[in-house]
Chain A
Amino acid sequence: MFERFTDSARGVVYGSIEQSRRAGDACVEERHMLAALLDAEGTRTSVALATIGFVASRDEIERGLARARRRGGISQADEAALADLGIDVGEIVARVEQTHGEGALAPARRTRRLWPFGGRTGHVPFTPGAKKVLEQSLRESVARGQRHIGDEHILLALTARPGVVADLLAEYGVTHTAVLGALAPRAQAG
């Protein structure tokens, strides 16, 4: 599958590994892939995001991700859905943190020793979720009848897979449908 990746898509994959390493995380997660996508310049992703009118800074995105993390992986859309049931996530987080400390509900950071098969020095394994994004990027390419997997397919994959990253992007209007629309003219030309 990797041989189908364009240079730009490979850049995003290597970039996500670098993002993970720099943050001191033991695994590559979806959020590292998002960070790598947002950092890359002159890509189809950056053109599509500009077309959609996405202007959030990296700091803003990082804050959004940290907010969801502190809430145990609950996005703002999740919070709204739970509020409909009368469940106040903010209140739950506040009470738990009062007793168990700040960030108590954030998922525990995986450490490398938990990954005996990926323990080779310098090797940063992808989480199952991050691997699924790569698989989805192939499906996004196939669905458009394309042979290559570009950075734009990784963006499409991130918006297609339910989770904090897709929800956060949707808050800025970057949905799967919006990305498809932004890519459409280019797809016809190529």
Chain B
Amino acid sequence: MTEATDLASRAGDRDPRVGLRAVAALRRLLEQLEAVQVRSARVQGWSWQEIAAELGVSRQAVHKKHGRN
């Protein structure tokens, strides 16, 4: 019984769907985390330039994405 469960879970590890789903979910989570952190930085008075530098993207990119928040 335990052996069967073990085998099943190991087979699951190789299922590309699980891995791909994890990647897609992580991407979504990342977007929300970014929104939270950018919002927080803005509240603390950070400029778009400063935020962009930390994120490693252009000021325009970060402003376009989060400017409305």
Which residues on A sit within 8 Å (CB–CB) of B29?
Answer: 71-74, 82, 89, 92, 105
CB distance from A78 to the nearest CB of B (A): 4
Partner of B22, one of A73, A85, A92: A85
Contact flags A93-132 to B (C-beta < 8 A → 1, else 0): 0001001100011111000001000000000000000000
| 8 Å CB interface, B10-31 against A | 12-13, 18-19, 21-22, 24-26, 28-29, 31
The answer to whether B22 touches A81, judged by C-beta atoms less than 8 angstroms apart, is yes
- For the complex, is B68 an interface residue (Cβ under 8 Å from A)? yes
Which residues on A sit within 8 Å (CB–CB) of B31?
Answer: 72
Q: How far is the CA of A72 from the CA of B29 in the complex (A)?
A: 6
The answer to whether B22 touches A105, judged by C-beta atoms less than 8 angstroms apart, is no
Which residues on A sit within 8 Å (CB–CB) of B28?
Answer: 72-74, 78
- For the complex, is A50 an interface residue (Cβ under 8 Å from B)? no
| 8 Å CB interface, A56-96 against B | 71-75, 77-82, 84-85, 87, 89, 92, 96
Q: How far is the CA of A42 from the CA of B29 in the complex (A)?
A: 38
| Size bracket of the A interface | 20 to 34
- For the complex, is B32 an interface residue (Cβ under 8 Å from A)? yes
Which residues on B sit within 8 Å (CB–CB) of A104?
Answer: 36
Enumerate chain B interface residues (CB-CB to A < 8 A).
12-13, 18-19, 21-22, 24-26, 28-29, 31-33, 35-36, 40, 68-69
CB-defined A-B contacts under 8 Å, sample of 16: A73-B29, A73-B32, A75-B25, A78-B24, A78-B28, A81-B22, A85-B26, A87-B22, A87-B26, A92-B29, A100-B36, A100-B40, A105-B29, A105-B32, A107-B32, A108-B35
Enumerate chain A interface residues (CB-CB to B < 8 A).
71-75, 77-82, 84-85, 87, 89, 92, 96, 99-100, 104-108, 114, 162
